[in-house]
Amino acid sequence: MGDLAFAKQFLNTLDAKPTKYQADHVFDPKTFQLRVPYTLPKLSTPPHPSPPKTSPATAPAPGSEAAAPSASIILKSARNPNMTLTLPSLNPTTITIQSLKEQVQSYLGGPSVVGIDKIKILLNKKPVPPSRRTVVEALDDKLGTAKEIEFGVMIMGGAPDPPPQQPSATATRQAAEITPMEGVEATKVSSEPVQPGAASGAAVLETPAFWDDLQGFLEQRIRDQSEAQTLRGVFEKAWRSSTSAP
Protein backbone atom coordinates (compact mmCIF):
# COMPACT_ATOMS: atom_id res chain seq x y z
CA MET A 1 0.00 0.00 0.00
CA GLY A 2 1.40 3.24 -1.02
CA ASP A 3 1.88 6.16 1.37
CA LEU A 4 -0.88 8.15 -0.20
CA ALA A 5 -3.40 5.35 0.05
CA PHE A 6 -2.45 4.77 3.71
CA ALA A 7 -2.92 8.40 4.58
CA LYS A 8 -6.35 8.47 2.97
CA GLN A 9 -7.44 5.33 4.79
CA PHE A 10 -6.18 6.69 8.12
CA LEU A 11 -8.01 9.97 7.69
CA ASN A 12 -11.21 8.16 6.77
CA THR A 13 -10.89 6.10 9.93
CA LEU A 14 -10.48 9.28 12.02
CA ASP A 15 -13.48 10.88 10.38
CA ALA A 16 -15.65 7.94 11.44
CA LYS A 17 -14.76 8.46 15.12
CA PRO A 18 -16.63 11.09 17.30
CA THR A 19 -14.78 14.34 17.88
CA LYS A 20 -15.87 14.46 21.55
CA TYR A 21 -17.26 12.13 24.16
CA GLN A 22 -20.99 11.66 24.23
CA ALA A 23 -22.97 12.54 27.35
CA ASP A 24 -23.50 8.84 28.15
CA HIS A 25 -19.92 7.77 27.45
CA VAL A 26 -18.42 5.47 30.06
CA PHE A 27 -14.72 4.87 30.46
CA ASP A 28 -13.44 1.41 31.15
CA PRO A 29 -12.22 1.54 34.76
CA LYS A 30 -9.55 -1.03 33.99
CA THR A 31 -7.91 1.11 31.34
CA PHE A 32 -8.84 4.61 32.59
CA GLN A 33 -5.95 6.50 34.08
CA LEU A 34 -6.73 8.47 37.23
CA ARG A 35 -5.93 12.17 37.12
CA VAL A 36 -3.84 13.38 40.02
CA PRO A 37 -5.42 16.55 41.53
CA TYR A 38 -3.28 19.64 41.32
CA THR A 39 -2.47 21.20 44.65
CA LEU A 40 -1.07 24.67 45.16
CA PRO A 41 2.35 24.91 46.69
CA LYS A 42 2.57 25.79 50.34
CA LEU A 43 3.09 29.41 51.19
CA SER A 44 6.03 30.63 53.13
CA THR A 45 5.86 30.83 56.91
CA PRO A 46 3.92 32.80 58.09
CA PRO A 47 1.40 32.50 55.24
CA HIS A 48 0.08 36.06 55.60
CA PRO A 49 1.27 39.21 57.34
CA SER A 50 -0.21 39.73 60.77
CA PRO A 51 -3.27 42.00 60.80
CA PRO A 52 -2.76 45.43 62.34
CA LYS A 53 -3.58 45.57 66.03
CA THR A 54 -6.40 47.90 66.95
CA SER A 55 -5.56 50.06 69.92
CA PRO A 56 -8.36 50.91 72.35
CA ALA A 57 -9.89 54.34 71.97
CA THR A 58 -8.15 56.84 74.21
CA ALA A 59 -9.43 60.12 75.52
CA PRO A 60 -8.31 63.15 73.49
CA ALA A 61 -5.44 65.10 74.92
CA PRO A 62 -6.36 68.23 76.90
CA GLY A 63 -6.77 71.18 74.60
CA SER A 64 -7.32 69.05 71.49
CA GLU A 65 -11.11 69.19 71.72
CA ALA A 66 -12.82 71.50 69.27
CA ALA A 67 -14.08 74.63 70.97
CA ALA A 68 -17.85 75.05 71.13
CA PRO A 69 -19.15 77.65 68.65
CA SER A 70 -20.02 81.02 70.13
CA ALA A 71 -21.87 83.95 68.63
CA SER A 72 -23.76 87.06 69.64
CA ILE A 73 -27.49 86.89 68.95
CA ILE A 74 -29.21 90.18 68.14
CA LEU A 75 -33.00 90.42 68.51
CA LYS A 76 -34.53 93.43 66.76
CA SER A 77 -38.02 94.86 66.46
CA ALA A 78 -38.54 98.00 64.38
CA ARG A 79 -41.89 98.96 65.92
CA ASN A 80 -44.43 97.91 68.52
CA PRO A 81 -42.05 97.73 70.36
CA ASN A 82 -38.91 99.46 69.18
CA MET A 83 -36.20 97.29 70.70
CA THR A 84 -32.75 95.87 70.11
CA LEU A 85 -31.57 93.15 72.46
CA THR A 86 -28.05 91.72 72.18
CA LEU A 87 -27.24 88.39 73.83
CA PRO A 88 -23.45 87.86 73.72
CA SER A 89 -21.43 84.65 73.76
CA LEU A 90 -24.14 82.05 73.19
CA ASN A 91 -23.78 78.56 71.72
CA PRO A 92 -26.10 78.43 68.66
CA THR A 93 -26.18 74.63 68.77
CA THR A 94 -27.77 74.54 72.23
CA ILE A 95 -29.64 77.84 72.65
CA THR A 96 -33.32 77.32 71.81
CA ILE A 97 -35.84 79.57 70.12
CA GLN A 98 -38.03 79.23 73.22
CA SER A 99 -35.26 80.66 75.39
CA LEU A 100 -34.96 83.63 73.00
CA LYS A 101 -38.68 84.30 73.48
CA GLU A 102 -38.20 84.17 77.25
CA GLN A 103 -35.35 86.67 76.98
CA VAL A 104 -37.55 89.03 74.96
CA GLN A 105 -40.40 88.65 77.46
CA SER A 106 -38.12 89.48 80.37
CA TYR A 107 -36.59 92.43 78.48
CA LEU A 108 -40.04 93.92 77.79
CA GLY A 109 -41.11 93.72 81.42
CA GLY A 110 -42.25 90.17 82.10
CA PRO A 111 -45.48 88.19 81.62
CA SER A 112 -47.61 91.06 82.90
CA VAL A 113 -46.59 93.05 79.82
CA VAL A 114 -46.59 90.41 77.08
CA GLY A 115 -47.39 86.70 77.02
CA ILE A 116 -44.86 84.22 75.73
CA ASP A 117 -47.34 82.98 73.09
CA LYS A 118 -47.52 86.50 71.60
CA ILE A 119 -43.80 86.59 70.81
CA LYS A 120 -42.63 85.45 67.38
CA ILE A 121 -38.98 85.06 66.37
CA LEU A 122 -38.42 85.94 62.70
CA LEU A 123 -35.72 84.91 60.24
CA ASN A 124 -35.74 86.63 56.85
CA LYS A 125 -39.07 88.24 57.86
CA LYS A 126 -40.69 84.83 58.36
CA PRO A 127 -41.54 83.20 61.71
CA VAL A 128 -39.24 80.36 62.69
CA PRO A 129 -41.37 77.16 62.51
CA PRO A 130 -41.90 75.18 65.74
CA SER A 131 -39.99 72.23 64.24
CA ARG A 132 -36.77 74.29 64.40
CA ARG A 133 -35.94 74.12 68.11
CA THR A 134 -32.42 75.56 68.25
CA VAL A 135 -30.76 78.51 66.57
CA VAL A 136 -28.58 76.32 64.35
CA GLU A 137 -31.66 74.39 63.21
CA ALA A 138 -33.39 77.66 62.34
CA LEU A 139 -30.37 78.50 60.17
CA ASP A 140 -30.59 75.11 58.38
CA ASP A 141 -27.23 74.09 59.89
CA LYS A 142 -25.58 76.92 57.90
CA LEU A 143 -23.91 78.60 60.85
CA GLY A 144 -20.47 78.83 59.31
CA THR A 145 -18.10 81.20 61.10
CA ALA A 146 -20.66 83.90 61.82
CA LYS A 147 -19.96 85.82 65.02
CA GLU A 148 -23.29 87.67 64.99
CA ILE A 149 -26.72 86.23 64.25
CA GLU A 150 -29.68 88.57 63.84
CA PHE A 151 -33.32 87.62 64.33
CA GLY A 152 -36.41 89.74 64.00
CA VAL A 153 -39.01 89.99 66.75
CA MET A 154 -42.75 90.40 66.26
CA ILE A 155 -45.19 90.90 69.14
CA MET A 156 -48.75 89.90 68.28
CA GLY A 157 -50.93 92.87 69.25
CA GLY A 158 -47.89 95.03 69.92
CA ALA A 159 -46.22 95.95 73.18
CA PRO A 160 -44.82 99.12 74.77
CA ASP A 161 -41.18 99.97 74.28
CA PRO A 162 -38.93 98.29 76.86
CA PRO A 163 -38.00 100.31 79.95
CA PRO A 164 -34.44 101.59 80.24
CA GLN A 165 -32.15 98.78 81.31
CA GLN A 166 -30.94 98.94 84.89
CA PRO A 167 -28.18 96.81 86.37
CA SER A 168 -29.46 93.84 88.31
CA ALA A 169 -28.78 93.45 92.01
CA THR A 170 -26.20 90.75 91.31
CA ALA A 171 -24.35 92.86 88.77
CA THR A 172 -24.42 95.87 91.10
CA ARG A 173 -23.02 93.81 93.97
CA GLN A 174 -20.27 92.38 91.77
CA ALA A 175 -19.35 95.82 90.49
CA ALA A 176 -19.24 97.27 94.02
CA GLU A 177 -16.74 94.70 95.26
CA ILE A 178 -13.31 93.76 93.98
CA THR A 179 -12.05 90.26 94.68
CA PRO A 180 -9.11 90.62 97.10
CA MET A 181 -5.77 89.43 95.83
CA GLU A 182 -2.80 88.28 97.81
CA GLY A 183 -1.12 91.28 99.40
CA VAL A 184 -3.69 93.72 98.00
CA GLU A 185 -6.49 95.08 100.13
CA ALA A 186 -9.99 94.88 98.70
CA THR A 187 -11.56 98.19 97.71
CA LYS A 188 -15.09 99.23 96.97
CA VAL A 189 -16.37 101.33 94.11
CA SER A 190 -18.47 104.20 95.30
CA SER A 191 -22.03 104.11 94.08
CA GLU A 192 -23.33 106.79 91.76
CA PRO A 193 -25.29 109.59 93.42
CA VAL A 194 -29.04 109.49 93.09
CA GLN A 195 -30.28 111.81 90.40
CA PRO A 196 -32.57 114.62 91.60
CA GLY A 197 -36.20 113.66 91.29
CA ALA A 198 -35.47 109.91 90.82
CA ALA A 199 -37.11 107.42 93.16
CA SER A 200 -34.82 105.72 95.63
CA GLY A 201 -34.96 103.58 98.74
CA ALA A 202 -38.41 102.54 99.89
CA ALA A 203 -40.00 104.65 97.18
CA VAL A 204 -38.69 102.21 94.55
CA LEU A 205 -40.28 99.29 96.40
CA GLU A 206 -43.62 101.08 96.30
CA THR A 207 -43.69 101.04 92.49
CA PRO A 208 -45.31 98.08 90.64
CA ALA A 209 -42.42 98.16 88.15
CA PHE A 210 -40.00 96.89 90.81
CA TRP A 211 -42.15 93.86 91.60
CA ASP A 212 -42.71 93.21 87.87
CA ASP A 213 -38.94 93.22 87.37
CA LEU A 214 -38.52 90.88 90.35
CA GLN A 215 -41.09 88.47 88.92
CA GLY A 216 -39.42 88.57 85.51
CA PHE A 217 -36.06 87.78 87.12
CA LEU A 218 -37.55 84.85 89.04
CA GLU A 219 -39.18 83.46 85.88
CA GLN A 220 -35.86 83.62 84.08
CA ARG A 221 -34.09 81.79 86.89
CA ILE A 222 -36.62 79.07 87.79
CA ARG A 223 -38.47 78.93 84.42
CA ASP A 224 -41.87 78.58 86.05
CA GLN A 225 -44.34 81.43 85.62
CA SER A 226 -46.79 80.36 88.31
CA GLU A 227 -44.05 79.70 90.88
CA ALA A 228 -42.42 83.06 90.12
CA GLN A 229 -45.76 84.83 90.59
CA THR A 230 -46.25 83.04 93.93
CA LEU A 231 -42.78 84.03 95.15
CA ARG A 232 -43.39 87.62 94.10
CA GLY A 233 -46.51 87.71 96.25
CA VAL A 234 -44.62 86.20 99.20
CA PHE A 235 -41.78 88.73 98.94
CA GLU A 236 -44.09 91.71 98.46
CA LYS A 237 -46.36 90.65 101.35
CA ALA A 238 -43.37 90.15 103.65
CA TRP A 239 -41.96 93.56 102.79
CA ARG A 240 -45.25 95.35 103.30
CA SER A 241 -45.73 93.50 106.58
CA SER A 242 -42.30 94.61 107.80
CA THR A 243 -42.95 98.27 106.95
CA SER A 244 -46.51 98.47 108.25
CA ALA A 245 -47.09 100.20 111.60
CA PRO A 246 -47.41 97.80 114.57
**What are the boundaries of each domain within the chain?**
71-155, 208-240
Three-state DSSP at 71 gives: strand
pLDDT, tens digit, for every residue of 43-100?
Answer: 666 666 677 777 666 666 666 566 677 888 999 988 888 889 999 888 888 889 999 9
Class of domain 71-155: alpha beta
| Cβ atoms of 161 and 82 closer than 8 Å | yes
Q: Is the pLDDT of residue 241 over 80?
A: yes
| Cβ atoms of 114 and 106 closer than 8 Å | no
Q: Which CATH number fits domain 208-240: 1.10.3080.10, 1.10.286.70, 3.20.10.10, 2.60.40.10?
A: 1.10.286.70
Please give the pLDDT value at position 173.
52
Please give the pLDDT value at position 108.
87
pLDDT, tens digit, for every residue of 165-179?
Answer: 554 444 445 444 444
Residue 121: pLDDT band with limits 50, 70, 90 = very high
Residue 190: pLDDT band with limits 50, 70, 90 = very low
Please give the pLDDT value at position 59.
62
